[in-house]
A and B are shown apart, each in its own frame.
Chain A
């Protein structure tokens, strides 16, 4: 790779650029990550449970963007760390923020693509109609809402070995999605499980998506606050994980 590090902003851009080059060269990762949640929505949101296309668009899109964030951060960072790339970057005068920003922008782009694909399906096959402002709000909320999941993914990536990362992230991702009522609405749960759902970050991101699309009015201030609190917690975990990097283990 020909990375000419001239100035700090230049290096920053180069690192972001490298992220996208990496993604564009690994379609075997990129395409499944995009299509898996969309396929899930087509099967379950449109075919199996007809008539609830709009509600399920909000929850399945939450499911999709959360996955893109967790995987692009978690697994990639665990692998890059094991390859020594992280330590190399730390040792070099390269701005590590470029790597993280690049990944965050990529996760938002994934989120945008997933929401766009699902929205086209929902409008075309599910008959969903929203005002343009609502469509944009859905995309905006879900793209911004990747932040806590990016941080969670990064924290896991910093703590886990590359062989453990995919397994652990799946076991975090899928139960978190289910328990937050992204596949089956939380109100169908027994009361004690509902109480659990209300403390999980995906539940609140879905609440925001439902709120801005006018599907179901929610307490958006509370949901945004919960997501912010989680973001801070995960950011702290990232900070601790970062300190561990110094030579303790690969």
Chain B
């Protein structure tokens, strides 16, 4: 019977493994860099201008202990053994709240370096909401912003929100609403987000939810004491949302003026609005980077991911520049009518970056005519009140020790919020430099030029099929060129098909190409331009850098000039057709690394 005993022991050992696996509260493993706050750790910021979320106290002292604000005000006693921080000429603010983000990958670490300590996520897969909830209940040391999330969004099949390659449970009839909302509650959603978007404002045509379904979703959310917020990008859709009883809108609109009829509806219904002027500015052709000019201190803290998303632009943005003034007018009108406004960036959409863009948002709100103190409330106490973020957006005793210390006085000039000296998260100072590990440091010797067309085994055909689209691509290697043909089909947000070269031969397994300065490319074919995509960085499969290049001529792209491309970690280089649906064929006649 020895073998049976062995089997029983084996089974018991295997079951034992599951008891040892990490749980949301457990600490210490690499990714969850959290350790219990040491109770003896006390920080006192002295002689500082203190904005407590509502109003300002000059020459105040702020004491942080055990991950909480211990005391705040004038004449506060500093406990023995406290680390003293000089606040003269500086202003201390509650950790900022970005009320509209989509937090993937490094987002929470990138945000906290820019003083955003709490993020309200308006759509992400709910895989790890249990972990996220445990983290925000804790005051343990952590290097990331806390997150609240809507989880999945409510949208029609094929509607806005389904184009990102993320599996979204869609909804089509009012009868499904209660079950849909119940499923979100079970997954851990903190509120319900509803998409009302027929694409009209963007020159498109998208399936969208009908009024009865929207109302049923709102009712199901309210029945469970959850807020229901809506994505609406036109005046008509915003009015539909209000009529359905939503609590707030997570974008402003700029297709039409916010007229008296709209303002009356907004005021009477008591809704709030997250204007997300930053992402709108990106969609209306205004740069996401310009405001950083002259702010080298924070510009130097951007991670490659942040630089990459800031440098991107929405397709067709140049044709909508006329809407920018109206957007600011509408924000001013809503503010004037007493509609509560919340600062939110919609990062990481093109033209935005986690954390950094909230400072851009605050500047745009000030540009629209809001007083600096009102803008600061919009990024602290207002979202805390509306979303019931306990202990956040405030600096009274008992509030969380999430604190931003800035040079100067943002109550005079809102731009000073970006002059960050220190960020404290749960009472601990956050490292402000992006902690991007580079595989090798120091000088890299120049590598000899490399003819990529000669590396036949490192090429593969690639298309949007990989992400659920229906485009096709066939790749043939010839002696003097690589020929690609196929067809682009509707069915994916941005259909593409073409060829991809991987430096290691395995797509997205990166190689260090810093020995090369530039990529030289020449393509001819049936299409006017090809889209070059460079996948690089820690998570090489995330948003690639891309640029459209004319066919029939030679291009030389210097790595140093491509925003956000990490030559130290290139996962793949793709050359794609991405124009109108239909057949395409092109020949890559030259592709060299120099």
Residues on A facing B (Cβ under 8 Å): 13, 16-17, 20-21, 24, 47-55, 105, 109, 112-113, 116, 119-120, 123-124, 127-132, 135-136, 138-139, 184-185, 187-188, 214-217
Q: Is the pair B468, A188 in contact by a Cβ cutoff of 8 Å?
A: yes
**Contacts of A52 on B, CB cut-off 8 Å?**
125, 127
Residues 9-58 of B contacting A (Cβ, < 8 Å): 10-11, 14-15, 17-19, 21-24, 26, 29, 31-32
Q: CB distance A119 to B188 under 8 Å?
A: no
User: Is B504 in the interface zone, CB < 8 Å from A?
Assistant: no
Question: How far in angstroms is the closest Cβ of chain B from A136?
Answer: 5
**Residues of chain B at interface, number, CB under 8 A:** 45
Instruction: Judge if B3 is at the interface, Cβ distance under 8 Å.
Output: yes
Query: Per-position contact with A for B109-152: 1 when CB-CB < 8 Å, else 0?
Result: 00000000000000001111111001000000000000000000
Nearest CB on A from B568, distance (A): 18
Q: Check if B246 is an interface residue, CB within 8 A of chain A.
A: no
Q: How far is the CA of A47 from the CA of B540 in the complex (A)?
A: 10
Instruction: Tell me, rounded to whole Å, the shortest Cβ–Cβ distance linking B295 to chain A.
Output: 31
Report whether B104 and A51 are in contact in the complex, using a CB–CB cutoff of 8 Å. yes
- Shortest Cβ distance from B491 into A: residue: A190
Contacts of A136 in B (CB 8 A): 15, 18-19
Q: Which of B179-187, B202-210, B330-338, B556-564 faces chain A?
A: B179-187
B185 vs chain A, min Cβ distance (A):
8
Contact (A17, B1) CB under 8 Å given A120-B17, A123-B21, A188-B468: yes
Do most interface residues of chain A lie in helix, strand or loop, or is the interface mixed?
helix
Instruction: Tell me if B80 counts as interface (CB < 8 A to partner A).
Output: no
Contacts of B167 in A (CB 8 A): 185, 187-188
A178 → chain B, closest Cβ, in Å?
14
Contact: A214 with B19, CB < 8 Å? no
Task: Give Cα A119–Cα B1 distance, bound, in whole angstroms.
Answer: 31
Greatest chain B CB density within 10 A among A21, A112, A216 is at A216
Contact A113 B131 (CB under 8 A): no
A17 cross-chain contacts in B, Cβ below 8 A = 1, 3-4
Are A50 and B32 interface neighbours, CB within 8 A?
no
Which chain B residues border A119 with CB–CB below 8 Å? 17-18, 21
CB within 8 Å of A: which residues of B?
1, 3-4, 6-7, 10-11, 14-15, 17-19, 21-24, 26, 29, 31-32, 104-105, 125-131, 134, 165, 167-169, 182-184, 186-188, 468, 508-509, 539, 541
Contact flag A21-B3 (CB < 8 Å), given A119-B18, A187-B168 = yes
Contacts of B187 in A (CB 8 A): 214-217
Which chain B residue shows the least CB distance to A117? B17
What chain B residues lie within 8 Å of A185 (beta carbons)?
167
Docked Cα-Cα span, A47 to B24, in Å, equals 22
Q: In the complex, what distance in Å separates the CA atom of A201 from the CA atom of B7? A: 29
Smallest CB separation, A140 vs chain B (Å) = 9
Give the 6 A-B residue pairs with the shortest CB-CB distance, closest first. Answer: A217-B183, A187-B167, A217-B186, A188-B468, A135-B18, A127-B31
Q: How distant is the Cα of A205 from the Cα of B184 in the complex, in angstroms?
A: 21
Interface contact B541-A13, CB-CB below 8 Å: no
- Chain A: which residue is nearest B4 at the CB level? A17
12 more CB-based (< 8 A) A-B contacts, given A129-B23, A131-B130: A17-B4, A20-B6, A51-B105, A53-B127, A54-B127, A109-B14, A112-B15, A123-B22, A130-B24, A132-B21, A135-B21, A216-B183
Do B130 and A20 have beta carbons less than 8 Å apart?
A: no
User: What are 27 residue pairs bridging A and B, where the CB atoms are less than 8 Å apart in the complex?
Assistant: A20-B3, A20-B6, A48-B508, A51-B104, A51-B105, A52-B125, A55-B125, A109-B7, A113-B14, A116-B14, A127-B32, A127-B128, A128-B128, A129-B23, A129-B26, A129-B32, A131-B130, A132-B23, A135-B18, A136-B19, A138-B18, A139-B14, A139-B18, A188-B167, A214-B186, A214-B188, A215-B126
Contact of B22 with A129 in the complex, beta carbons under 8 Å:
yes
Looking at the assembled complex, report how far the CB atom of B158 sits from the nearest CB atom of chain A, in whole angstroms.
10
**A50 adjacent to B541 (CB under 8 Å):** yes
A113–B7 alpha-carbon span in the complex (Å) = 12
Collect the chain B residues with CB atoms within 8 Å of residue A112's CB.
11, 14-15
Most buried by B among A48, A51, A131, A185: A51
B468 cross-chain contacts in A, Cβ below 8 A: 184, 188
